[in-house]
């Protein structure tokens, strides 16, 4: 087996429910989010018994850290904070609803015209895409032949999966991850291969949440994502 990454999106937050962009901001997990996290920790413990997990890396944002802490308790590995796993930031525009960003700020229209556009004090889609790919591939190089859990955000996961298995970052909607979805990917020395993508079978049906893009947009835009993820 090559180097394996187990990508986990954090549990549902209050910002997810309110459809507000919290990239570098944070919001508490909802009761449903806490149930998702508990179920995900149990699933990772089962995976650990089948194939040992050697390390856990986590975004510095609290919603991801709370998710990683439950997984860490379940498998007996302390998480390491990796700044490059944080969600995309839109700077001064964070805290606005997706509707406001779409209709008033015309954010996705701006990105469609110019993927180098960054809101004030925020990131551009191009910069974000480079960061998340560099971070993921750096973790894989640090742990050749090992299995890592990476607890991060919807924007990070959908972007990097679209780069590896899609038509580039603009293909993110196809790889949009629900809360606490698990993706398993493997590096064989020449390329990345999908083992499992955005699996939620471990979650009780009443705790599952829709794919974020279907909740945010009537017609999802084909631009790299960032969100309250």
Concerning whether 143 is annotated as a catalytic residue, the answer is no
Q: How many CB atoms lie within 10 A of CB 31?
A: 11
Q: Which of 12, 22, 82, 87 is catalytic?
A: 87
Concerning whether 24 is annotated as a catalytic residue, the answer is no
CB 86, CB 118: distance < 8 Å: no
Residue among 228, 200, 229, 217 nearest 108 (CA): 217
User: Rg for the chain (alpha carbons), in Å?
Assistant: 16
Measure the CA dihedral 212/215/218/222, to 10°: -10
Whole-angstrom distance, CA of residue 198 vs CA of residue 158? 9
Active site residues: 10, 87
């Amino acid at each position: 087996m090559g180097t394996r990454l187990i990508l986990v999106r954090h549990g549902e937050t209050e910002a997810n429910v309110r459809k507000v962009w919290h990239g570098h901001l944070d919001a508490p997990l909802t009761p449903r989010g806490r149930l998702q996290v508990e179920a995900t920790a149990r699933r990772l413990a089962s995976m650990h018994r089948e194939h040992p997990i050697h390390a856990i890396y986590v975004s510095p944002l609290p919603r991801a850290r709370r998710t990683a802490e439950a997984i860490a308790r379940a498998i007996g590995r302390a998480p390491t904070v990796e700044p490059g796993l944080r969600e995309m930031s839109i700077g001064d525009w964070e805290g606005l609803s997706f509707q406001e960003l779409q209709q008033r700020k015309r954010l996705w229209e701006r990105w469609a015209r110019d993927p180098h556009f960054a809101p004030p004090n925020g990131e551009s889609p191009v910069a974000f895409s480079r960061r998340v790919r560099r971070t993921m591939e750096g973790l894989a190089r640090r742990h050749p032949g090992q299995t890592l859990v990476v607890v991060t955000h919807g924007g990070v996961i959908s972007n990097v999966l679209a780069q590896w298995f899609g038509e580039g970052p603009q293909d993110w909607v196809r790889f949009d991850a629900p809360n606490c979805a698990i993706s398993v990917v493997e590096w064989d020395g020449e390329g990345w291969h999908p083992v499992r993508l955005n699996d939620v079978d471990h979650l009780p049906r009443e705790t599952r949440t829709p794919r974020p893009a279907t909740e945010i947009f009537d017609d999802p835009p084909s631009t790299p994502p960032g969100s309250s993820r």
